[in-house]
Structure 1
């Protein structure tokens, strides 16, 4: 019974953290990532604009901004290729 209780407590503690975790974008080391300036240029070429936040999030580059259609966007990019890994468009 103690093992079950301990498992439930661990699940209750870890589940919320997993819910906020971003995607896994690459397993490459950071020396293989494109520079932030190069990624910002690629993001602009893809039509994202009014970027409020550009940051490293785990193994991804992440932005908060707007699409070319002026829709709110949260987007995770593979930092090696620049490909979109996950996006939430409102």
Structure 2
């Protein structure tokens, strides 16, 4: 969750910087500026959504790994011989 907040802060900072670069120049209409800002906001929204998906996937993998570690430790603590519990299907070996 902290990573998501940090990523959002970085993106927000980048967005502000990009928006400041796009301040109107001589001859630029307000509508042109609004159109550019709208496009930039859409692009950044898509990027935040992508990053959110990646963070969520990382959290899911972390939980699956934690669950497997607990299963391995329980197996060892119970004095069970090899082989260990099967590796979870959703994780890379």
> TM-score, normalised on structure 1?
0.30
Higher strand share: 1
State which structure, 1 or 2, has the greater radius of gyration over its C-alpha atoms: 2
Higher helix share: 2
- Higher RCO (Cα < 8 Å, 6 or more apart): 2
